[in-house]
């Protein structure tokens, strides 16, 4: 696993799970950020990240992204 600070544009990762189970995490799952899913960082702008998930795009802030357990592909 790695920290958000190490995530640069172009980084691809696999979602391993989530740090906690909260309504916000449930919403992330509904938007497609699920265990086993590959994601790619398209843009990093300050504390916000634009992620590519299949044919979808998801904007997530650094705090929420820190709750995602991830591994670099």
Taking residues 31-41, what's their average pLDDT?
A: 95
Residue 20: pLDDT band with limits 50, 70, 90? confident
Phi, psi dihedral angles at 28 (to 5 degrees): -60, -40
**How far is Cα 15 from Cα 1, in angstroms, rounded to an integer?**
10
Tell whether the model's pLDDT for residue 5 goes beyond 90: no
- Tokens describing residue 9: 């544009």
Hey, what CATH class is 4-72 in? mainly beta
SS3 at position 26: helix
d(CA 27, CA 7): 22
Residues 43, 41: Cα–Cα separation, whole Å: 6
**What count of other Cβ atoms lies within 10 Å of the Cβ of residue 36?**
8
């Amino acid at each position: 696993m790695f920290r958000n600070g190490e995530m640069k544009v172009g980084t691809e990762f696999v979602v391993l799970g989530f740090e906690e189970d909260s309504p916000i995490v449930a919403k992330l799952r509904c938007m497609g950020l699920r265990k086993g899913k590959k994601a790619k960082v398209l843009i990093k702008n300050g504390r916000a990240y634009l992620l590519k998930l299949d044919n979808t795009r998801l904007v997530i802030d650094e705090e929420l992204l820190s709750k995602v357990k991830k591994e670099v592909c």
